[in-house]
Amino acid sequence: MTYASVRTFTVEDFLLQYGDDPRYELIDGELRDLEPTGPHEEVSGKVSGYWFSALLSLNKDWTIPKNCLIQPLAAQATTLRPDVIVLDKSKLEQEPLWHREPIVTSGDSIVMVAEIVSTNWQDDYARKVEEYLVLGIKEYWIVDLRGLGGLEFIGKPKHPTVTVCQLEADSYHKQQFRLHDKIVSGIFPDINLTLSRLIA
């Protein structure tokens, strides 16, 4: 991850200049260049596909948009761009921006999110955990396909890891899954997925 500029952006500035550009998000007024790579996008697409298949089997009124921004109302200058997001369509009518732009502001509209870790691993393992917890998002997957996360997050020796954060009361319970472990999801209990399938 790189910090694209020392300039501080407002949410309005960011949306005007970078709202349609999937390469950027805004955290505390700082423009983040997400530097997506081919493998990053491939894994993101696979997660989306597996989640969509699981979603269909549950027969829920949920959707997985191609692009979506999260603009927490409590955050002054933050607009997050999750790699994969599941939204509850029944809650989107209450979203003030959704019918003009693919932006959600309330955690009530968000079922779950996934971030595919790249060089911005600090944001995925720390800052976004805080933001998604404040929003009350029930499940957050951190898919670390290259084992980039810090030792305190993925242990030693470092290996590719999926960390599933499940909301329990006011904190996340975290479970780690390695290459051939079956990933356990509270939202999609019947999903048949391992990290090895995502990064094969």
In a domain, 75, yes or no: no
Q: In the structure, what pLDDT confidence band is assigned to residue 76 with cuts at 50, 70 and 90?
A: confident
Pairing of strands 110-116, 139-144: parallel
Query: How many angstroms separate the first and last alpha carbons of the chain?
Result: 24
Over residues 11-67, the pLDDT tens digits come to 999 999 999 998 999 999 999 988 888 999 999 999 999 999 999 999 899 999 999
Q: Is 7 within the bounds of a domain?
A: no
Instruction: Flag whether 125 is in a domain.
Output: yes
- Structural Rg of the chain based on CA atoms: 16
pLDDT at site 7: 74
**Which tens digits make up the pLDDT trace of 190-199?**
999 999 999 9
The H or E element containing residue 161 is strand 161-168
In our burial notation (b when 16+ CB lie closer than 10 A, e otherwise), range 30-67 reads bbbbbeeeeebeebbebbbebbeebbeeeeeebebeee
SS3 4: strand
**Is 87 part of a structural domain of the chain?**
yes
Check if the beta carbon of residue 24 is closer than 8 Å to that of residue 18: yes
DSSP code of 190? T
Beta strand 161-168 pairing with 139-144: antiparallel
CA–CA separation, 143 and 177 (whole Å): 10
Domain that holds residue 169: 37-67+81-199
Alpha-carbon distances, residue 39 vs 92, 136, 200 (angstroms): 31, 29, 10
Residues present in the chain in total: 200
- Predicted confidence (pLDDT) per residue in 112-157, tens digit: 999 999 888 999 999 999 999 999 999 999 999 999 999 989 988 9
In a domain, 27, yes or no: no
Does residue 102 belong to any structural domain of this protein?
yes
Please report, for residues 15, 40, 97, the alpha-carbon distance to residue 183 in angstroms, rounded to integers and kept in the order given: 35, 19, 34
- Tell me, what CATH number does 89's domain have? 3.90.1570
Q: Which two tokens stand for residue 190?
A: 């019947």
Is residue 96 situated within a structural domain? Answer: yes
Count of domains observed in the chain: 1
